[in-house]
Amino acid sequence: MSLRLTVIGAGTMGAGIAQVAAIHGFSTTLCDLSADQLSTAMSSISSSVEKGIDRGKTPPEARDLVAQGLSTETDLSKACADADVVIEAVPEDIDLKNKIFKTVESVVSSHAVIASNTSSIPISKLASSLSAPERFIGMHFFNPVPVMSLVEIIRGEKTSESVIDSIVKLARDMAKEPIVVRDSPGFATSRLGLVIGLEAIRMLEDGVASAEEIDKAMELGYRHPMGPLKLTDLVGLDVRLAIAEVLHEEIGEQFRPPQLLRDMVSRGDLGKKSGRGFHDWSV
Ligand SMILES: NC(=O)c1ccc[n+]([C@@H]2O[C@H](COP(=O)([O-])OP(=O)(O)OC[C@H]3O[C@@H](n4cnc5c(N)ncnc54)[C@H](O)[C@@H]3O)[C@@H](O)[C@H]2O)c1
């Protein structure tokens, strides 16, 4: 029997993860505190599926798989009660995540795996709030989830081998390419990606070049598919700031968030999702 999945948090990442899970035949519950956010997520999933079908990248059956296999729930306990795998994708805040894991652990069955989509918080730190840390693992997807093939799987100090095997299999069954990495702040991806992203912001602060030129430098000079400032706009400036704060505390000065990033987040210039970041997304 196919696994039942619950995805907690219906924002940028949770909506994408739920979409890919449902399209690959998993019965999926998407959970968020906010009913409005759930309905926004369902509309964006349905328009993303339609776009995929129009472009010939998604089979037409995906429409029915989403309609039949994807449901929503605002009550965390109800959402997780029947799950075989719970994937958490709420904001990058250790206290919030730990509070959620405590509730999840109190309602799921003993065989259920609990995974976090955290970009930077050490998995063993999150697992330490659980009474069964061996069932806890990092399952880090990339944005936009339906397009990006990588899933970074993070082995916590106490994660069991059988849990690692089952999440590697789940990633493959969702048509993703998994890598398994040791637990360390920022893992393999965010740690490297943030170095470039934060330095690009500091270069903008120093007036080295415009946002367009800095992005073009990496796109044309280094064959990056997208420049670091455009990528920061896509990820969300608030999300990148939260990751930088974790890595600054865990690793050191090279991850200190630039003042410009803080100022833009406090102004509400969060990137693509707010219509303005380092670039204008309003048109
Ligand atoms: N945005 C990216 O590109 C990206 C990429 C990889 C990983 N991540 C990680 O994924 C996680 C989520 O990021 P995002 O960009 O999707 O954030 P987001 O802000 O877009 O979405 C978070 C969602 O969680 C919901 N939420 C908050 N508290 C909740 C609760 N108690 N119960 C249920 N739902 C709750 C919010 O209503 C919101 O809809 C973070 O840990 C982030 O670091 C983000």
**Predicted confidence (pLDDT) at residue 83 exceeds the cutoff of 70:** yes
Report yes or no on 279 lying in a domain.
no
User: Based on the domain organization, do 147 and 236 belong to the same domain?
Assistant: no
**Predicted confidence (pLDDT) at residue 129 exceeds the cutoff of 90:** no
Q: Is the CB of 233 under 6 A from ligand 1?
A: no
User: Based on the domain organization, do 147 and 212 belong to the same domain?
Assistant: no
Q: Is the CB of 170 under 6 A from ligand 1?
A: no
Which atom of ligand 1 lies nearest, measured to the CA of 13? 16
Q: Among 93, 107, 119, say which to mutate for ligand 1: greatest number of ligand atoms within 8 Å of CB.
A: 119
User: Based on the domain organization, do 40 and 159 belong to the same domain?
Assistant: yes
User: Based on the domain organization, do 148 and 242 belong to the same domain?
Assistant: no
User: Based on the domain organization, do 209 and 174 belong to the same domain?
Assistant: no
Rounded Cα–Cα distance for residues 54 and 110 (Å): 42
CATH code at 59?
3.40.50.720
Q: Which of 22, 17, 153, 154 is nearest to 87 (CA)?
A: 17
CATH code at 216?
1.10.1040.10
Structural domain of 42:
4-182
Q: How confident is the model at residue 1 (pLDDT cuts 50, 70, 90)?
A: low
Peptide bond preceding 225 in cis form (omega within 30 of 0): no
User: Based on the domain organization, do 195 and 157 belong to the same domain?
Assistant: no
Q: How confident is the model at residue 54 (pLDDT cuts 50, 70, 90)?
A: very high
Rounded Cα–Cα distance for residues 182 and 205 (Å): 34
Q: Is the CB of 194 under 6 A from ligand 1?
A: no
User: Based on the domain organization, do 170 and 123 belong to the same domain?
Assistant: yes
- Average pLDDT of the segment spanning 35-62: 96
- The per-residue pLDDT for 283 is 85
- The per-residue pLDDT for 271 is 98
Q: Is the CB of 10 under 6 A from ligand 1?
A: yes
Q: Are 151 and 170 in contact (CB under 8 A)?
A: no
Q: Which of 276, 244, 247, 238 is nearest to 258 (CA)?
A: 244
User: Based on the domain organization, do 174 and 194 belong to the same domain?
Assistant: no
CA of 238 to the centre of ligand 1 (A): 11
Of the residues 160, 182, 204, which one is the last residue of a structural domain?
A: 182
- Token couple for 159: 């994660």
Query: Model pTM?
Result: 0.93
Give alpha helix (H) positions in the chain: 12-23, 35-54, 61-69, 76-80, 94-107, 123-127, 161-173, 189-205, 211-221, 228-235, 237-250, 259-267
- The per-residue pLDDT for 209 is 98
Q: How confident is the model at residue 2 (pLDDT cuts 50, 70, 90)?
A: confident
Q: Are 83 and 4 in contact (CB under 8 A)?
A: yes
